[in-house]
């Protein structure tokens, strides 16, 4: 599938991972059924098979208990600071007793009942099982895989991306983009031939999965031209009186030399992810950065989808830069989203004339056409 055809279907479908489902657990059930069927077909006697199964299960429970004891040896030195001085809380944090203690008691009792040797052999078997698990811990063979770690972080919502997305939403997107929409409405009244499609009256947020954030969009792509600043939004935030938020309006030139206009900016938390991958203290690899950038997009999309304040005020533009040097990659990504929004408005207002991009204004011409008066003035049609 070509890059262009992927972009036409859905730009983020192949870039952003969806939440993991329950396929791993279903695979466990399938393997359990296959193992049981194989044991039945092998014609093994029931009693020896049950004894061996219970033996392995007891060994696993012993391993969990030993691992918890090892961690408890460290946690008892942090009772006050980490566990409010409670030994029971520290023990429960190291060993999930509510799950493993009943299993250990039941399986241990069944093992003793099924065991047909003397007590010395029983004790020797338990000692050998303990040694095996301790060797596994020492050699680090019991560490969870990268997939397990990723799934745990995603389900517990404790990854870096989750915190950054919520901070970005609560501290910025929840309060600023609604003001941007109002500013674009005011700008459109003064310049009715520029922002012709209401669906694009929103803040377009760039989310490069590489986390490369640039200060000057015009240097990234020459088809993106700075036009003007929208009306400032002034709010008192976190002890700062009259904090000013400002946003820039850009003109995007397409392959037919037509201009499309929108407010664009990068998602600033991506700078933190990029800085973490450059700092040895963070121990954050490039692969970690890309994964967290994808999770940042997915988490932010989920948050904004449920936000009443941000309805119709934003457009997330996630993209993955190609390996080849493409001078107009970013403008093509923005144009794809702008055209989609134009199509959406035409679909809603079916039967009306589809809005077409402006083709006659440059940034210099637009500056000349903005009246100094507070009242909207008609634009001249002679181009001066």
State pLDDT tens for residues 24-42.
778 888 888 888 788 778 7
Residues 311 and 201 in one domain: yes
The number of C-alpha atoms within 13 Å of 175 and in the hemisphere containing its C-beta is 15
Residues 122 and 167 in one domain: no
- With respect to residue 37, please indicate whether it lies within any of the assigned structural domains: no
**pLDDT band, very low/low/confident/very high, at 12 (cuts 50, 70, 90):** low
Range ranked top by mean pLDDT from 73-77, 371-375, 380-384: 73-77
State how far the Cα of 320 lies from the Cα of 268, in Å rounded to an integer: 17
Which residues does residue 318 pair with via DSSP β-bridges, in sequence order?
Answer: 207
Residues 208 and 316 in one domain: yes
- With respect to residue 3, please indicate whether it lies within any of the assigned structural domains: no
- pLDDT value at 356 more than 90: no
pLDDT value, residue 269? 93
Residues 126 and 53 in one domain: yes
Of 88, 117, 143, the last residue of a domain is 143
- 333 vs 194: which has the higher pLDDT: 333
- pLDDT value at 166 more than 80: yes
- pLDDT value at 378 more than 60: no
pLDDT value, residue 179? 81
- pLDDT value at 66 more than 50: yes
Which residues does residue 314 pair with via DSSP β-bridges, in sequence order?
Answer: 203
Domains held by the chain: number: 2
**Minimum mean pLDDT among 55-64, 321-330, 354-363: which range?**
354-363
Residues 330 and 360 in one domain: yes
Residues 76 and 114 in one domain: yes
Residues 221 and 326 in one domain: yes
- With respect to residue 245, please indicate whether it lies within any of the assigned structural domains: yes
pLDDT value, residue 63? 83
- With respect to residue 10, please indicate whether it lies within any of the assigned structural domains: no
Number of CB atoms found within 10 A of residue 22's CB:
9
**9: Cα separation from own chain's centroid:** 21
State how far the Cα of 129 lies from the Cα of 148, in Å rounded to an integer: 25
pLDDT value, residue 155? 65
- With respect to residue 12, please indicate whether it lies within any of the assigned structural domains: no
- With respect to residue 32, please indicate whether it lies within any of the assigned structural domains: no
State which residues form the domain around 328: 160-369
State how far the Cα of 59 lies from the Cα of 125, in Å rounded to an integer: 9
- 107 vs 318: which has the higher pLDDT: 318
- 143 vs 290: which has the higher pLDDT: 290
The number of C-alpha atoms within 13 Å of 185 and in the hemisphere containing its C-beta is 8
- pLDDT value at 255 more than 60: yes
**pLDDT band, very low/low/confident/very high, at 324 (cuts 50, 70, 90):** low
- 319 vs 100: which has the higher pLDDT: 319
Residues 168 and 281 in one domain: yes
- pLDDT value at 3 more than 70: no
Residues 118 and 182 in one domain: no
Residues 336 and 192 in one domain: yes
Mean pLDDT of all residues in 68-78 = 87
- pLDDT value at 270 more than 90: yes
Q: Where residue 298 sits, what CATH number does that domain have?
A: 3.40.50.12100
Nearest to 261 by CA among 182, 381, 342, 329: 342
Of 143, 172, 196, the last residue of a domain is 143
- With respect to residue 52, please indicate whether it lies within any of the assigned structural domains: yes
Of 99, 118, 143, the last residue of a domain is 143
- pLDDT value at 11 more than 80: no
Residues 107 and 180 in one domain: no
Residues 226 and 303 in one domain: yes
Angle between helices 269-278 and 286-305 (to 10 degrees): 160
pLDDT value, residue 2? 40
Q: What angle do CA 140, 141, 145 make, to 5 degrees?
A: 100
pLDDT value, residue 352? 44
- With respect to residue 155, please indicate whether it lies within any of the assigned structural domains: no
Each residue of 179-223: pLDDT tens digit? Answer: 888 888 888 888 777 777 788 888 999 999 989 999 999 988 999
Q: What angle do CA 215, 216, 219 make, to 5 degrees?
A: 135
pLDDT value, residue 325? 65
CB 227 within 8 Å of CB 249: yes
């Amino acid at each position: 599938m070509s890059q262009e055809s992927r972009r036409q279907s859905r730009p983020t479908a192949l870039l952003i991972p969806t939440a993991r489902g329950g396929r791993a657990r279903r695979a466990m059930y399938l393997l359990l059924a296959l193992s049981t069927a194989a044991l039945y077909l092998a014609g093994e006697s029931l009693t020896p098979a049950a004894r061996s199964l219970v033996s392995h299960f007891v060994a696993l429970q012993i391993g969990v208990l030993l691992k918890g004891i090892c961690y408890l040896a460290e946690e008892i030195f942090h009772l006050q600071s980490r566990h409010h001085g409670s030994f029971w809380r520290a023990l429960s944090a190291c060993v999930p007793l509510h799950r493993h203690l009943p299993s250990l008691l039941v399986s241990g009792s069944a093992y003793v009942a099924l065991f047909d040797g003397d007590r010395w052999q029983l004790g020797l078997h338990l000692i050998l099982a303990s040694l095996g698990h301790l060797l596994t811990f020492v050699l680090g063979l019991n560490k969870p895989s990268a997939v397990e770690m990723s799934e745990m972080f995603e389900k517990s919502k404790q990854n870096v991306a989750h915190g950054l997305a919520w901070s970005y939403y609560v501290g910025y997107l929840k309060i600023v983009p609604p003001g941007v929409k109002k500013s674009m409405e005011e700008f459109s009244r003064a310049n009715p031939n520029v922002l012709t499609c209401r669906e694009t009256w929103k803040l377009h947020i760039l989310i490069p999965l590489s986390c490369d954030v640039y200060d000057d969009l015009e240097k990234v792509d020459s088809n993106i031209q700075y036009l003007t600043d929208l009306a400032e939004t002034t709010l008192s935030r976190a002890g700062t009186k009259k904090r000013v938020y400002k946003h820039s309006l850009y003109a995007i030139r397409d392959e037919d030399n037509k201009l499309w206009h929108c407010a664009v900016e990068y998602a600033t938390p991506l700078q933190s992810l990029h800085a973490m991958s450059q700092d040895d203290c963070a121990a954050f690899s490039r692969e970690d950065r890309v994964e967290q950038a994808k999770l940042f997009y997915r988490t932010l999309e989920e948050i904004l989808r449920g936000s009443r304040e941000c309805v119709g005020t934003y457009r997330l533009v996630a993209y993955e830069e190609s390996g080849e040097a493409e001078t107009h990659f970013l403008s093509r990504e923005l144009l794809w989203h702008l055209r989609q929004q134009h199509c959406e408005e035409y679909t809603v207002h079916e039967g009306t004339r589809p809005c077409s991009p402006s083709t006659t204004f440059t940034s210099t011409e637009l500056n000349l056409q903005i009246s100094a008066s507070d009242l909207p003035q008609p634009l001249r049609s002679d181009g001066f």
